[in-house]
Structure 1
């Protein structure tokens, strides 16, 4: 009889994977976009590129969360992911719309806007994972967006405020305790799912979490570069 796969890990999945992506987290911390957003010196053109791309991303991320909800094994997880799917749309309609008004951009101005190469790749990666993989692997793929934004938001909000920072609403949104509570819940779901995963599935969880974290870096960096399709 073949021996079952056995996972050898120290502590919960979240502790393991957070350490695995330490180099990526360091690279994110060093992003010019985040440093300049924190002190209010970020170029309006760069921020506008980011917001436009984030609006496109969140529409698809909301769909990914709804798919995860449909695969959830318990009603608690299902309700949490359905609520998160709704909140992703509300952020897109609220926070982003306010910023667009600040920049004098109307929703009609964005009609026909296309995802950048990095945004397109990230969106398609997430949708492919949540549609074709297990609940556990899907949760691991969508988790970095929650966790990294919470981590970045809390640390920026703890810094000394820049009077008149035009991006303070963004900082307040992702540094808010309510957003932190949602991130912690998804971390707990990932840890729970990992305890039930086979060794192969656990490795898949690590792999997709790491890739999604890389895409988080790429997404912010692409805004700094105002990335477009070259041909």
Structure 2
């Protein structure tokens, strides 16, 4: 088993006033050659956007882009004709493919919006762009990992063009579960939303990230009530 620990305070940070963003991997003006990606996981941004502010229309191509709101309401508009609002308890996926333009704004005028934006390198390029979002409330499971993303359109959660699986955990203190990786050659990156975890003897605190590869499985135990995200991705792609 190989591992890497990214403490919360080691992340890149950019505060633009209206946007306060922490980067687990190199992004924009934050460049760290040792933190370019974790396998196919290219971007993990932890963003807070001021009331009524946001990202104007901008392009993407050949990337799988996942947004997970943690607080507040995020308005999305794109040139595919989508105009939606995603909120805590939702997940959004956009396959940029041959090219898409979109904007993201805080839909509220009097409160913050907080969300994770995650980019995954796809396993096929120049696909027709697509968009989807679902509510996770119907599949939320306490004290057990539950799947929110996979490569398979028929599976629970959203799907992307990559052999990747995402799970959310909402564990009460003292809960443990062993996660078995689904595909040989994949690794997993655990990101703690809040609380404390023990992952095979390594203690993780809020907003820490922990990568594991060259392993078949690992065990997650909650030292406190904890919420966290497990992202299984190919290490070679």
TM-score by length of 2: 0.23
Q: Which has the higher contact order (CA 8 A, sep 6+)?
A: 1
* Higher relative helix content: 1
Higher strand content, 1 or 2: 2
TM-score by length of 1: 0.24
Higher Cα Rg, which structure:
1
